Amino acid sequence: MNKQISRRSFLKLAGGVAIVAAGASLAPQGLRKVLRPEGVVQAAYPDPNLYFAGTDGWIHLPPSPPISPYFPDNLAPGSADGYPEGLNTYIFGFRNITGLTDVQKSYQKMRAQHNAPLFWADQYNGSNEFRVQLTNLGLQMRPDLTDSHTLHWHGFRNVIPYFDGEPTGSVSVPVGRDFTYVFRPRDPGTYMYHCHVEDVEHVHMGMTGLVFVRPIQNGNTGLYPSGKYAYNDGDGSTGYDREFAMFLSEVWAEAHWADSHIQLPEWSDYHADFGLINGRAYPDTIAPNGSIDPFNPVRDADGYLIAPPGYPHLQYQPLSALVRCNAGDRVLLRFANLGYMDPAMTLAGIKMRIVGRDGTPLRGRDGTDTSYWTSTVAAHVGASYEAIFTAPPFQGPGIPDPEIGANYNAYPLYNRNYHMANNLEPNGFGGQRTEVRVYQAGVLPVQTVPNT
């Protein structure tokens, strides 16, 4: 966590990689380029935009039905250990430690969140590089696992292998060290990021989340009044008023239990016990947010996450999947799936228009509009989708929302593979369900942070 050590480890690792990657003939030049005096390198490097930590932790999933002996996990901490009651599932994950002191950072070991913090970057305009420093705090429950971590932007084009986070072709971050990733995000869209070390395990255990790249067209209010767009569409067709991350993943209880109990799961036995949206299982998906603005994080005096009011068990699952909008709003749902199943996310009663997929606007080479209308997003593994709908008129009287002080109409958004949305059946996978709440026009203020 010390900047001097960090810079030195950066240079050492960089030198090693240059030799291995470039081969003997190019090595001297590679070394000359990399091994510049430290002062020069430091002067050229601005502070990271975000600081993340990789570590382990615990989350809450619906405790019924139990899956003996794997779930609930008998090693889960409780109030006697300084954790909330109700935690039952072991995870690996990331935390946003931006702004914390080194002591506070060290407290975040075994305080990972699920899924990983949502964040976004502006499209590269020639000077606005985006930097994320990753610190590896180690795994509290598994001191025997000296696993490194990385930050890999999945599906991200034009990446420099050095900052790609794919550990066999580049560097990874060992326990107790840090590394700053530098990105020039050239293509707007919705992307996943994840740790790429032992990735079947680390991704499934929770080291994954969403990153949006915002288009250069943003701020142009001439094409759409809000000035917010999914892509550089040139015509306002991807303009929106509100946006919501919909990160789809799963939990196989046996694998999570195995990692906390120093066992090895047989990954070919994989089956999802829970389907999650934004790291939560229904009905927690519609519970309020914790602190989710990555650039203005709110933590307590120890640097711990603060639970959403009334939901202490969701302290480490801060991102709500509840969609609130005014009648007439254009709403952008950013779906991405890093589970191993194929959810079919259905919005009952409202048609969505799919305007982009995998960081690519749905346009033909000659600009032909290839977007399409659907009520179901078949979210394939490793793929992302931008879906825009216009909120229908409010039809009273609706359901009272004491949090907002107004009534709403509810439209369920759920996985049509119903066993993935149902956690009440003995063999239900549960959880991939949330809802869209439509209020009268003017009830909700302008959205400043996604998922609020």
- The residue ranges that bind Cu ion (CB under 5 A) are 149, 195, 197, 202, 207
CA Rg, the chain, in Å? 22
Q: What is the closest distance, in whole angstroms, from the C-beta atom of residue 196 to Cu ion in the complex?
A: 8
Q: What is the closest distance, in whole angstroms, from the C-beta atom of residue 173 to Cu ion in the complex?
A: 9
Q: What is the closest distance, in whole angstroms, from the C-beta atom of residue 201 to Cu ion in the complex?
A: 8
How far apart, in Å, are the Cα atoms of 213 and each of 146, 182, 185, 299, 334? 32, 14, 7, 26, 12
Q: What is the closest distance, in whole angstroms, from the C-beta atom of residue 207 to Cu ion in the complex?
A: 5
Is residue 217 within 8 A of residue 233, CB to CB? The reply is yes
In the complex with Cu ion, which residue's Cβ is closer, 149 or 256?
149
Q: What is the closest distance, in whole angstroms, from the C-beta atom of residue 243 to Cu ion in the complex?
A: 28
How far apart, in Å, are the Cα atoms of 217 and each of 161, 192, 227, 337? 28, 22, 8, 27
Among residues 398, 447, 423, 386, the alpha carbon closest in space to that of 282 is found at 423
- Per the structure block, which two tokens stand in for 211? 């990153």
Q: What is the phi/psi pair of residue 208, to 5°?
A: -160, 145
Extract long-range pairs of 15-23: CB within 8 Å, 24+ residues apart.
17/162, 17/170, 17/171, 21/161, 21/169
In the complex with Cu ion, which residue's Cβ is closer, 239 or 339?
339
Q: What is the closest distance, in whole angstroms, from the C-beta atom of residue 194 to Cu ion in the complex?
A: 8
What sign does the CA torsion over 169, 173, 178, 182 have?
positive
In the complex with Cu ion, which residue's Cβ is closer, 90 or 394?
90
In the complex with Cu ion, which residue's Cβ is closer, 131 or 142?
142
Q: What is the closest distance, in whole angstroms, from the C-beta atom of residue 374 to Cu ion in the complex?
A: 35
Q: Report d(CA 150, CA 207) in Å as an integer.
A: 9
CB-neighbour burial class of residue 399 (10 A; exposed 0-12, middle 13-18, buried 19+): exposed
Q: Report d(CA 135, CA 53) in Å as an integer.
A: 5
Provide the 3-class DSSP secondary structure of residue 364.
coil
User: What phi-psi label fits residue 26: left (phi over 0), alpha (psi between -120 and 50 degrees) or beta?
Assistant: alpha
Is residue 210 within 8 A of residue 277, CB to CB? The reply is no
Q: What is the closest distance, in whole angstroms, from the C-beta atom of residue 244 to Cu ion in the complex?
A: 27
Among residues 59, 34, 151, 161, the alpha carbon closest in space to that of 111 is found at 59
Q: What is the closest distance, in whole angstroms, from the C-beta atom of residue 47 to Cu ion in the complex?
A: 24
Q: What is the closest distance, in whole angstroms, from the C-beta atom of residue 82 to Cu ion in the complex?
A: 24
In the complex with Cu ion, which residue's Cβ is closer, 197 or 388?
197
What sign does the CA torsion over 125, 298, 339, 259 have?
positive
In the complex with Cu ion, which residue's Cβ is closer, 134 or 421?
134
In the complex with Cu ion, which residue's Cβ is closer, 59 or 420?
59
Partners of 135 in the β-ladder: 53, 178
In the complex with Cu ion, which residue's Cβ is closer, 116 or 355?
116
In the complex with Cu ion, which residue's Cβ is closer, 139 or 327?
139
Give the HSE-up count for residue 210: Cα atoms under 13 Å, Cβ half-sphere. 32
In the complex with Cu ion, which residue's Cβ is closer, 197 or 438?
197
Q: What is the closest distance, in whole angstroms, from the C-beta atom of residue 296 to Cu ion in the complex?
A: 26
Number of helices (H), then strands (E), in the chain = 6, 21
In the complex with Cu ion, which residue's Cβ is closer, 30 or 265?
265
Q: In the 8-state DSSP scheme, what is residue 86?
A: T
Give the HSE-up count for residue 319: Cα atoms under 13 Å, Cβ half-sphere. 26
Q: Report d(CA 342, CA 3) in Å as an integer.
A: 43
Q: What is the closest distance, in whole angstroms, from the C-beta atom of residue 50 to Cu ion in the complex?
A: 17
In the complex with Cu ion, which residue's Cβ is closer, 167 or 239?
167
